[in-house]
Structure formats: C-alpha cells, structure tokens
Amino acid sequence: MKVECIFCKIINGEIPSKKIYEDENVLAFLDINPSSPGHTLVVPKRHILDFQEIDDDDLLNLMKICKNLSKKIVSVLDADGYSILQNNGIAQDVKHFHLHIIPKYSNDKTMDIDEVYKKITNE
C-alpha cells in the first residue's frame, strides 16, 4: 500500500466509498464525480501504477470482473450502452491503476449516487 494513494486508502477503509464488488484482489466502487449514473471504478487492491505496469494475469482478471459488472450495471440501471476507459500519464489523475465503467443513456438520465448504489447492491 502507498500511504499517500487515495485508492489505497479506499481499499484500506480509511476513506469511505460506495463499494459494489469486492474479492481478495479487486475492489469496485462508484466514482465520486460520475460522468453518468453508475460510473464505476474497478481497481486492483495491490498498488499498481498504470497499464504498462500491471501484469497480464492481473489485467485479465480485472477485465473479466469488469465484463461481469458492466453487464449487471447496464441491466440494473437500464442503460443503453457503456464505455470502458483507462487513463495513463497526464490523462490519469489517480496514480493507481483503474478501469472506468461509464454507462451511456439515450436520454439524459439523472439519478443520485445513493439511488444508483441501492439499485446495484440490492440486485
């Protein structure tokens, strides 16, 4: 764990988050500043910087979880599509590898983060 890393602090429970999936190696939680309702971040629990640093097995595992979670999020929130995004270098604000799941809606959908959280976690 990197002491100054905000995602390490979330993983460690030092900073609260709306967790929607967790296992031994991976945590997924709702983005604090969502681009759309259901915007989710999928992160390895081990501190890894970026796309170049993550090893292939960890990447594959994260992608599999991301694939399952996207299906669930889209279905529960009735989204019309989604984007998977991953930023590096100057494009990356938080220097702990993460995949974004960003649901897309054909109409401008508004839903607050608590409602999103309830819908996803009650399924």
User: Which chain residues interact with ligand DGP by CB under 6 A?
Assistant: 6, 15, 17, 29-33, 41, 87, 92-94
- Minimum distance from residue 91 beta carbon to ligand DGP (Å): 6
Tally of CA atoms within 13 A in the half-sphere of 3 that contains its CB = 0
- Minimum distance from residue 15 beta carbon to ligand DGP (Å): 6
- Two tokens, residue 64: 């599999």
Residue closer to ligand DGP by CB (options 15, 60) is 15
Element holding 79 (H helix, E strand): none
Strands 40-44 and 81-85, by their bridges, are: unpaired
DSSP 91: G
- Minimum distance from residue 112 beta carbon to ligand DGP (Å): 14
3-state secondary structure of 104: strand
Residue closer to ligand DGP by CB (options 56, 93) is 93
Residue 47 appears among annotated catalytic residues: no
| Positions marked catalytic | 98
